[in-house]
């Protein structure tokens, strides 16, 4: 056998062995990824020295997130737009920013006063995905325990991503930062006053003004 033939056989063996090794690595990697959890949940809590209604108000209105949301600090130049009601169920916030915040939208799907708020997250960039964010508010003496959580399904790509990055810690750290900012904002403000029927005083006053205006208008029409 000539030297050239021997080299050719040797290189073929090297190539075959290389493909076998790569195949084994890929199969092992796919197996490890497949073994990761099919869903995820990240949760953080904080105690805020304020009534549940005051804390609830900070979350129920997307406009107020500017004062405490940790994501706005990541990209102060990100652009946001609001759609639907000014607060509560069906309120929508859309954002677009740099590669660290991406692009997407939040829609309030559940808003139970001073109890729970549930938000549908729809990510568009850096990749499309959906998840659910939830805030719960539990009175504890003269304080409120607010819990901020995110949960959803893990796709194969997300499972693989979690092998290299601790998403629980990354998101959890941001939640802790946001809750600390919310605590500072709420505790520095005057508590929301309520009427005897539990309606916030400001809303009650506004409702009263609208009723009086309607009554005056009706009397004017009757003249």
Residue-level pLDDT at 221: 45
Residue-level pLDDT at 192: 55
Residue-level pLDDT at 29: 63
CB-based contact 119:134 (threshold 8 Å): yes
Q: What contacts 133, CB < 8 A, 6 or more positions away?
A: 106, 118, 119, 121, 148, 149, 150
* Cα 49 versus chain centre, distance: 23
Q: How many other β-carbons are positioned within 10 Å of the β-carbon of residue 195?
A: 13
Q: pTM score > 0.75 for this model?
A: no
Q: What contacts 55, CB < 8 A, 6 or more positions away?
A: 48, 137, 144, 146, 182, 186
Residue-level pLDDT at 163: 63
CB-based contact 55:45 (threshold 8 Å): no
Residue-level pLDDT at 145: 97
Alpha helices in 110-200 (DSSP H): 156-162, 167-187
Top-tier CATH class for 40-192:
alpha beta
Residue 71 backbone dihedrals phi, psi, to 5 degrees: -70, -30
Alpha-carbon distance 36 to 47, whole Å?
Answer: 33
Q: Where are the domains of the chain?
A: 1-35, 40-192
Alpha-carbon distance 168 to 173, whole Å?
Answer: 8
CB-based contact 72:66 (threshold 8 Å): yes
Which of 66, 58, 71, 41 shows the shortest CA–CA distance to 133? 41
Structure tokens, 41:
């949940």
List the pLDDT tens digit at each of the 223 positions of the chain.
Answer: 566 666 677 777 777 778 787 777 777 766 776 667 666 788 999 999 999 999 999 999 999 999 999 988 888 888 999 999 999 999 999 999 888 888 999 999 999 999 999 999 998 988 788 899 999 999 999 999 999 999 876 665 666 666 666 677 888 999 999 999 999 999 987 655 554 454 444 444 444 444 444 444 444 444 4
Alpha-carbon distance 5 to 14, whole Å?
Answer: 14
Distances in whole angstroms, Cα of residue 205 to Cα of each of 168, 194, 200, 210: 44, 10, 9, 9
């Amino acid at each position: 056998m000539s030297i050239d033939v021997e080299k050719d056989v040797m290189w073929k063996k090297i190539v075959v062995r290389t493909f076998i090794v790569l195949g084994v690595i890929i199969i092992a990697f796919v197996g490890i990824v497949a073994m990761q959890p099919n869903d995820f949940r990240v949760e953080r809590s904080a105690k805020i020295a304020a009534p549940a209604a005051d804390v609830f108000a900070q979350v129920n209105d997307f406009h107020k997130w500017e004062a405490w949301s940790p994501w706005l600090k990541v990209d102060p130049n990100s652009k946001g737009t609001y759609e639907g009601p000014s607060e509560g169920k069906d309120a929508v916030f859309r954002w677009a920013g740099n590669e660290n915040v991406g692009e997407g939208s939040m829609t309030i799907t559940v808003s139970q006063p001073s109890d729970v708020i549930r938000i549908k997250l729809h990510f568009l960039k850096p990749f499309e995905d959906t998840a659910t964010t939830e805030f719960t508010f539990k009175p504890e003496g003269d304080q409120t325990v607010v819990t901020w959580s995110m949960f959803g399904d893990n796709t194969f790509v997300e499972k693989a991503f979690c092998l290299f990055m601790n998403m629980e810690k990354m998101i959890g750290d941001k939640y802790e930062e946001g809750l600390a900012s919310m605590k500072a904002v709420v505790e520095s403000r005057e508590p929301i006053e309520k009427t005897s029927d539990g309606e916030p005083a400001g809303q009650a006053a506004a409702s009263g003004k609208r009723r009086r205006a309607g009554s005056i208008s009706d009397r004017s029409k009757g003249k």
